Amino acid sequence: MIPKIILGKGPDATRRTIRYLFGPGRANEHTDPHLVASWNGFAPDPGRSPHRDPQDVEKQLVAQLDQPIRMLGDKAPKHTVWHCPVRAAPEDPILTDDQWAEVARRIVAAAGIAPDGDEDACRWVAVRHADDHIHIAATLVRQDGRRPKRDYDQRAVQKEARTIEVDYGLRRLKAGDGTAAKRATSKEHFKAKRLGQDATARDILRLRVRRAVAAAADETEFLALLEVTGVDVRRKRGPSGDALGCNFALPGDTNDKGEPVFYAGSTLAPDLSLPKIRERLATTSPEPANVPPGNPWHQATAATERIPHHLVSGDDHAAQGQLVALGMTLDVLPLAAPAAVRSELSQAAMAFERASRSRITADLNSTRALRRSLQSIWRERPQDRDGTGLAMLLDVTLTAVALALHWHRTRQHAQQAAAAEQALVHLHSAYVQVAEPVLTQLAQHTPSQQAQRRYAHHLQQAAPAHAERILNDPAWDALAAVLAQAEAAGHNTATVLAQALGQRTLGDVRSPARTLTWRIRRLSERHAPSPRAQAARARTAKAYNPSPLPGAQAHPMAAGSRQPQPRARRR
């Protein structure tokens, strides 16, 4: 059950609200509007007065609701109407008028509009339009002339709705913490439907602004990216001329006067205000001059692989910062992915957006490496011909999102946990589409049975707890292939395997063989042995002559190798 509070202001606010509630609606969705409850139990009902003109009954109802406001004259408050639609889920049982009346009384009591037993409370009515929802309209002056005490009414109403769901056997929604993005209004949904758009302007802007924040290195680049992606920006400036805020609009999205409809960043999401955006941009510093450039896919993968450690072992502020960076990763991935998986990745990003915020303040200092690598992927579009870079990044992202789900659950962040769980579904679907072709291609280069037995022996020595699970994993052939590739490039199999196992435990990954495949592929490319090490390795005869994989460096002594002696094999 979803209640949503809307405030109305102006001398005609009550008349406008009642006219809408008893009118046809914006798309003729009001099929049978009628009262189910009111402050006194016998308020005039424009929907159930067959012997009177409905417009006359509307005027009478408006006059009765407005009477306490008129008594105050010029001292009336700015906002005079409290409007709260309450909607049940489509799969919920249909409630009767009496049940909806009881729901309305509980909602106005929880909000402080009409506490139980208070005869001088605000005047209100509940109007039913359809089987699944009602609208509650109240005037914000009590009958004794005082203002209602409705501090934190939105939070109180949501809490009462969770109790109503249990009492009436309705679908139970997740409790929030006030950090969710503002939902699009029904007016915005109708407008998007009328224009043939799949999403509202608010949702489109939120996605584009988040992507610009994730990809930009500074405020200038952030504004430039917004312009490129089709977002109009209007900056709010103070007396000194400094920008204090940003409003965003889509070209062509206008109101009835033909003016652009601008949304403040803070109304798109709590973390998209200009101060919050500047705080995130400040965490991206230039790469030190003495750090050699690397593969951005590998750098992003290594940084993302450290997120679970922060979630398990770090303090809450650092963990929340990692969740922010994880959300940015999901925002950028659709831009660098093949067209076939962009939709799934975009849905994963939109779902996880809710899981990237909580009441815990984020410490972003430890997210610099991931931010820099994401920006490199965005700017440089590094080559990823066979999809290995994206596959290995998606693999560690899946693990990070799964740990984020656990992290939120242990802290009773119900909405965030549900969002992370939803993101996992879309992310796993995209991962399968990206990884399976890569693993299939690798498996075609599986080395000899003798080499596989030797790799299995190294594996059993290095990770006895996981060896059986890895050897029975469908991705074992691909893992054996990358081990052969690493060995052909001059690496020591036992050493590179130990390095891959030492990066992070395999206990929380879905497929340990796939995870090790990506780790060893990354290690073999990042840490190539020196010529001296390669020469020493060449002097050690090999037990087989594996076929080099595409992109792998062939061992210089492979063609003339001889069968190794037992002593050499033991070394």
Q: pLDDT tens digits for the chain (571 residues)?
A: 889 899 999 889 999 999 999 988 766 677 789 999 999 999 999 988 888 888 899 999 999 999 999 999 888 999 999 999 999 988 899 999 999 999 999 999 999 999 999 999 999 999 998 888 999 999 999 999 999 998 889 889 999 999 999 999 998 887 777 788 888 887 888 888 888 888 899 999 999 999 999 988 888 999 999 998 899 999 888 887 788 889 999 998 998 888 999 999 999 999 999 999 998 888 765 555 444 567 888 889 989 989 998 998 878 999 999 999 999 999 999 988 889 999 999 999 999 999 999 999 999 888 888 988 988 888 877 777 778 889 989 999 999 999 999 999 999 998 999 999 999 999 999 999 999 999 999 899 889 999 999 999 988 888 888 888 889 988 999 999 999 988 888 888 888 888 888 877 777 677 888 889 988 888 887 655 555 544 544 454 343 334 443 333 333 323 333 333 344 444 3
Is residue 450 within 8 A of residue 543, CB to CB? The reply is yes
pTM value is: 0.74
- Paired with 254 in beta bridges are 260
Strand (E) or helix (H) holding 248: strand 243-249
Reference 265, options 251, 281, 245; nearest CA is: 245
Q: Are the CB atoms for 507 and 463 separated by under 8 Å?
A: no
- HSE, CB side, 13 Å, CA atoms: give it for residue 316: 10
Q: How far apart are CA 24 and CA 129, in angstroms?
A: 10
Q: Residue 520 to residues 273, 461, 484: CA-CA distances in angstroms? A: 41, 17, 10
CB 524 within 8 A of CB 482: yes
d(CA 132, CA 331): 35
User: In 3-state terms, what secondary structure has residue 245?
Assistant: strand
End-to-end CA distance of the chain: 68
Q: Coil, strand or helix: which one is 361?
A: coil
Task: Name, in order, each residue with C-beta under 8 angstroms of 536's C-beta and a sequence gap of 6 or more.
Answer: none
Q: Is residue 149 within 8 Å of 93, Cβ to Cβ?
A: no
Starting at the edge strand found earlier in the chain, the sheet holding 243-249 runs 232-237, 243-249, 263-264
Q: What pLDDT is stored for residue 32 in this prediction?
A: 85
Q: Which residue has the tokens 């067959």?
A: 50
- Is the separation of the CB atoms in 299 and 396 below 8 Å? no
Q: Report angle CA 501, 505, 509 to the nearest 5 degrees.
A: 105
Helices (H), 295-338: 296-305, 307-313, 316-336
Give the torsion through C-alpha atoms of 135, 140, 142, 146, to 10 deg.
160
Helix (H, G, I), strand (E, B) or coil at 200: coil
